[in-house]
Amino acid sequence: MDWTRAARTGTPRKPPGRDYLSGVTRPEDILVPSPSGVCCKLGGFHIDPTRPVERAVITHAHSDHARAGHGAVLATQETLDLMRLRCGENFASTTQALAYGESVYLGGAKITLHPAGHVLGSAQVAVEASGLRVVASGDYKNVADPTCAPFELVRCDLFITEATFALPVFRHGDPDAEIAKLLHSLTLLPERAHLVGAYSLGKAQRAIALLRKAGYRAPIYLHGAMQNITNYYVGRGIALGELRLARGASKSNLAGTITLCPPSALNDRWTRRFPDPLAAFASGWMRVRARARQQGVALPLVISDHADWNGLTATIAATGASEIWVTHGQEDALVHWCTSRGLKARPLGIVGYGEEEDAGTAAGDAAPPLCDENRDEGERQ
Amino acid sequence: MNRFGELLGRLAYEPSRNNKLRLITDYFRSTADPERGWALAALTGALRFPHAKPGLIRNLIAERTDPVLFELSYDYVGDLSETVALMWPSGPSESGKERDEEPTLTSVIETLGTLGKAQLPRQLARWLDALDETGRWALIKLVTGGLRVGISARLAKAAAAALAGRNVDDLEVIWPGLAPPYHELFAWLEGRADKPTSSDPAPFRPPMLAHALDDADLSELNADDFKAEWKWDGIRVQAVAGRQDGDPAGRLLARLYSRTGEEISKSFPDLLDALRLPGAIDGELLIKRDGRIQSFNVLQQRLNRKTVTAKLMNEFPAHLRAYDLLADGDEDLRERPFAERRTRLEDFVARLKELRIDLSPLVAFRSWDELITARKNPAAAGAGADAAAVEGVMLKRRDALYLPGRPKGPWWKWKRDPFVIDAVLMYAQRGHGKRSSFYSDYTFGVWTQGERGDELVPVGKAYFGFTDEELLEIDRFVRQNTVERFGPVREVVHEPDRGLVLEVAFEGLQRSSRHKSALAMRFPRINRLRWDKPPGEADRLDRLENLIQRIEQGHLQGQTAR
């Protein structure tokens, strides 16, 4: 049985109510944590599993959440398209697209996707049964982003939140001010090529959109690894202005320009094609000086696609959930915050999330690819 | 304050000296008086706030945040100032009141100047409420002392001088007479006023430096035009004493400066007491024990100590060996020829009658050949028992005026040949800044008898000495011969028949408990790539052991250890 058939035949005759026969009496009966991701026994699917499974709901196309090799995959059209771009045509046996706000039913569970505001196509997964609702957020941010649909708050009984930046030291601030820093540096050091390290999916396109919003009209150069995904964004109607590949440009023409590249390329031989390159890095991690310095970043730009401390805590409170599960990141601090406010909270300890981020922050060579990501780092001199 | 914080932030990340300079100059250009003057004072370390201790900052944050969250955050960030700056509740929504206007650096410094200790916590808290993350970080760094953003006082001065396209030495000359916030300095640099005059009784004078001499240069020079003296291996200093204006007792103010103009008087009170005549001596700071000048290794043991105790001064007595006299009383001698200054110096040192201050002796020679012989064996050419502290000879034109900077021609330094060994490349690490894509830091080793036969033991690390082409070659070799990776470090193949031999040059050797080889090299650099040599034929640790013993006995000089 794949997703498509499940969705068509699985629609119950009556809307799901509190159904004692299904055995669902508490939110944790709907989803169960497992080492490879949360699992819905009722519907027979996993959310963002880190191992190949029969049926997977994927929140977004970052490689730590979206792995190749599952049987049936349910996700937004954008996420499916992006997975295809990154992992190849045959990343799953079957796929089914689900638009934001639409629902499918599977084994008595109702599945609805809601915008997560993280990257293009990113979704929160709401699973309902017996009148209870669980929301698995995936990665999310509750601030404006011109390249994706805004985060939608979904009230629920159990909220599964990420915790990438779950320490009070992480307050991301205004991304426009960070872009202004980059543009100021460009006027101050006009003979230097400004390289901006940014994750290939999401951050790079958002940084370009923010530059355009700030009135930067010059062509923006791209590392080859970003070309496909960026073209896809443009194809989805996101205006990014004139883009060029750095590969074709002569060294002297790159003085005083901005080039977006994967973070791992900042210390790569690839940088030798640029005149006196200056390494910038757009990431929430840049808030902490030691992290920026370890990576030899000269211009840290605090621009994050994850909610910061205030964003996480405000969202948790607004969902109205009485129980919170915390995945990947600084679980301790967020669990402490929840418990001190009378919320039931526990860390999930799922192994494998957050690796796409870390692959980018490792100072050394690119981490081993999770799927066919080597094309991402594939541009060599 | 936020802007100053932003500047500090950029400086902390920027590896290149030139770019740091431009960032600071840009700040001075775009910031008004007196704000920029106070920034200059902060960058040159001219400000002290004795009451602001880290404990105070800790108390402030403890009153405002959950202790568990603070500890988790501190543990993650690893730096108190930064953790507090990042965690501080900000904005009306969090602190529950309207934000004050952002304080300027000027208002912070002026207020701190008059504020009592008891009012400090409340005032600091109000400022922290009004600043952004970077501003808060800068404020805490500033008041608790220690900006530590990789800026020397000299670099900050150079950035100010660059406002007018001037050299930093033009500024050093008048610096001792200036006080924050340096209105008259900026007015002069911007062409709005005359050059400020120094009224300091013991000012620093920008030193004259020498160019390195190649053996080939010698044939172009006439031996009759020059005097020669030993180049001592200590730290170059300027020892200045002058009468304080308006002091009825006519007491002397004495100061000791490093070559870069940093005042180091506090570290050498034993020498300061000996400066009993008004004047300015250019000389070398050394350790003299049992009537003998000690090697740099010994001097370093004193330099490494934070507090100067009587015991330390007793064990490592500071000594000044005088090269030159820049001022005698109120008389400026810098416009006089070297030969004349030398005579005045001899007279001055004789009048001083201080055991701690003596003349650097001239090296007698009639021809270059005689000087070559002297350089090879200083012990036999007059340096005697002090030869261990000689690192070459200096040539000075008899008619040379004392010119600031490094003019080419009047002075030459002719260092002894370095020690040289053949070592095997073991690990390579990526560099910083321009070199971040290159494996440019090399750890090298020599052979020693291990438990299972011969093995390589690391003896040093070098990251310069090679040409750009050689860097490319080594980089390629490292990438193609990596056996293991540890983050940014790669272990490179190093077997008797496979690997890369590096000819390493260095200035000295000392014992070290920190290294497995128990040795530390001074100033090691890559002299040559020995692609031709199999690693098995590289040097052994015994040879370095032997070298260090001979250095310690003072037997080894000017030796190409071949």
Size of interface A-B (CB pairs under 8 A): 94
In a domain? residue B310 = yes
Q: What are phi and psi of B291, to 5 degrees?
A: 75, 10
CATH number for B543: 2.40.50.140
In a domain? residue B361 = yes
Q: Are residues B482 and B516 in the same domain?
A: yes
- Helices B17-30 and B153-161: crossing angle in degrees, nearest 10, is 60
Residue A24, C-beta contacts closer than 8 angstroms, at least 6 positions apart = A18, A30, A42, A108, A129, A130, A132
Average confidence score pLDDT of chain A: 86
pLDDT, residue B560, reads: 40
In a domain? residue B303 = yes
Answer yes or no: are the C-beta atoms of A167 and A309 closer than 8 Å.
yes
Does residue B562 register a pLDDT over 80?
Answer: no
Cβ-Cβ contacts under 8 Å, B79 against chain A: 289-290
pLDDT, residue B70, reads: 94
Reported as a single tens digit per residue, the pLDDT across A253-270 is 999 999 999 998 998 899
- pLDDT, mean of residues B472-486: 92
Q: Are residues B268 and B403 in the same domain?
A: yes
Identify the band that residue A16 occupies on the pLDDT scale cut at 50, 70 and 90: very low
- Residue listed under structure tokens 């150069």: A221
Select from B144, B171, B197 the last residue of a domain. B144
Note whether A266 contacts B: Cβ–Cβ < 8 A.
yes
ipTM for the complex?
0.86
Note whether A293 contacts B: Cβ–Cβ < 8 A.
yes
Cβ-Cβ contacts under 8 Å, A365 against chain B: 485
pLDDT, residue B552, reads: 73
Quote the percentage of chain B above a pLDDT of 90: 61
Cβ-Cβ contacts under 8 Å, B488 against chain A: 267, 363-364
Q: Are residues B237 and B355 in the same domain?
A: yes
Q: Are residues B238 and B266 in the same domain?
A: yes
Does residue A12 register a pLDDT over 90?
Answer: no
Residue A252, C-beta contacts closer than 8 angstroms, at least 6 positions apart = A275
Q: State the Cα–Cα distance between residues A218 and A241, nearest whole angstrom.
A: 8
pLDDT, residue B76, reads: 87
pLDDT, residue A352, reads: 65
Note whether A301 contacts B: Cβ–Cβ < 8 A.
no
Q: Which amino acid is at B414?
A: W
Q: What are phi and psi of B241, to 5 degrees?
A: -135, 140
Answer yes or no: are the C-beta atoms of B379 and B521 closer than 8 Å.
no
Does residue B2 register a pLDDT over 50?
Answer: yes
Average confidence score pLDDT of chain B: 89
Domains for chain A: give ranges and CATH numbers.
3-169+306-350 (3.60.15.10), 175-301 (3.40.50)
Strands A70-75 and A92-97: parallel
Q: Are residues B242 and B377 in the same domain?
A: yes
Answer yes or no: are the C-beta atoms of B282 and B207 closer than 8 Å.
yes
**For residues B515 and B209, which has the higher predicted lDDT (pLDDT)?**
B209
How many folded domains does chain B comprise?
Answer: 3
Reported as a single tens digit per residue, the pLDDT across B375-431 is 989 989 999 889 888 999 999 999 999 998 889 999 999 998 889 999 999 999 988
- pLDDT, mean of residues B168-194: 89
In B301-389, beta strands by DSSP E: 318-328, 331-332, 357-359
Residue-range definition of the domain harbouring residue B494: 419-552
Q: Which amino acid is at B345?
A: L
Q: State the Cα–Cα distance between residues A68 and A39, nearest whole angstrom.
A: 18
In a domain? residue B57 = yes
Q: Are residues B14 and B127 in the same domain?
A: yes
Q: Do A300 and B133 touch (CB under 8 A)?
A: no
Run of H or E including A229: helix A227-235
Reported as a single tens digit per residue, the pLDDT across B439-459 is 999 999 999 998 889 999 999
The string of DSSP letters for A142-203 reads -S--TTSPPP-----SEEEEEETT-STT-----HHHHHHHHHHHHHHSTTS-EEEE--TTTH
- pLDDT, mean of residues B232-249: 87
Note whether A289 contacts B: Cβ–Cβ < 8 A.
yes
In a domain? residue B160 = no
Q: Which of B96, B97, B70, B95 is nearest to B84 (CA)?
A: B70
| Chain B interface test: which of A164, A165, A167, A269 (most B C-beta within 10 Å) | A167
Select from B144, B164, B194 the last residue of a domain. B144
Does residue B546 register a pLDDT over 60?
Answer: yes
Quote the percentage of chain B above a pLDDT of 70: 96
- pLDDT, mean of residues A1-24: 48
Does residue A119 register a pLDDT over 60?
Answer: yes
Q: Is A126 helix (H, G, I), strand (E, B) or coil?
A: strand
Q: Are residues B370 and B474 in the same domain?
A: no
Q: Do B86 and A287 touch (CB under 8 A)?
A: yes
Query: Which chain B residues in 63-82 lie under 8 Å from chain A, judged by CB atoms?
Result: 65-66, 68-70, 72-73, 76-79, 82
Q: Are residues B369 and B511 in the same domain?
A: no
- pLDDT, mean of residues B196-202: 81
Select from B415, B439, B456 the last residue of a domain. B415
Residue of B nearest to A309 (CA): B87
Does residue B51 register a pLDDT over 90?
Answer: no
CATH number for B320: 3.30.470.30
In a domain? residue B161 = no
Run of H or E including A228: helix A227-235
Q: State the Cα–Cα distance between residues A64 and A358, nearest whole angstrom.
A: 10
Reported as a single tens digit per residue, the pLDDT across A306-330 is 999 999 999 999 999 999 999 887 8
Residue of A nearest to B25 (CA): A188
**Neighbour tally for B220: CB within 10 Å:** 6
Note whether B90 contacts A: Cβ–Cβ < 8 A.
yes
Q: What are phi and psi of B514, to 5 degrees?
A: -80, -20
In a domain? residue B226 = yes
- pLDDT, mean of residues B96-114: 83
- pLDDT, mean of residues B79-95: 79
pLDDT, residue A380, reads: 32
What are the structure tokens assigned to B522, written together? 């001074």
- pLDDT, mean of residues A158-172: 95
> A27: cis peptide before it, omega within 30°?
no
Q: Are residues B246 and B381 in the same domain?
A: yes
Identify the band that residue A22 occupies on the pLDDT scale cut at 50, 70 and 90: low
Kindly tell me the sign of the dihedral angle through the C-alpha atoms of A227, A229, A235, A239.
Answer: negative
Q: Do B487 and A362 touch (CB under 8 A)?
A: yes
**For residues A3 and A74, which has the higher predicted lDDT (pLDDT)?**
A74
Does residue B93 register a pLDDT over 60?
Answer: no
Q: Are residues B103 and B12 in the same domain?
A: yes
Q: Do A169 and B83 touch (CB under 8 A)?
A: yes
What length does chain B have?
562
CATH number for B67: 1.10.3260.10
Task: Judge if pTM exceeds 0.90.
Answer: no
Which 3-state string (H, E, C) describes B99-127? CCCCCCHHHHHHHHHHCCHHHHHHHHHHH
Q: Are residues B222 and B270 in the same domain?
A: yes
pLDDT, residue B272, reads: 92
pLDDT, residue A241, reads: 96
Select the residue of A181, A290, A336 nearest B69 (Cβ to Cβ). Answer: A336
pLDDT, residue A36, reads: 78
Does residue A23 register a pLDDT over 70?
Answer: no
Reported as a single tens digit per residue, the pLDDT across A34-84 is 877 899 988 999 999 999 999 999 999 999 899 999 999 999 999 999 999
Q: Are residues B454 and B369 in the same domain?
A: no
Q: Judging by beta carbons within 10 Å of its beta carbon (0-12, 13-18, 19+), is residue B405 exposed, middle or buried?
A: exposed
In a domain? residue B396 = yes
Q: Do B436 and A364 touch (CB under 8 A)?
A: no
- pLDDT, mean of residues B100-105: 88
Q: Judging by beta carbons within 10 Å of its beta carbon (0-12, 13-18, 19+), is residue B45 exposed, middle or buried?
A: middle
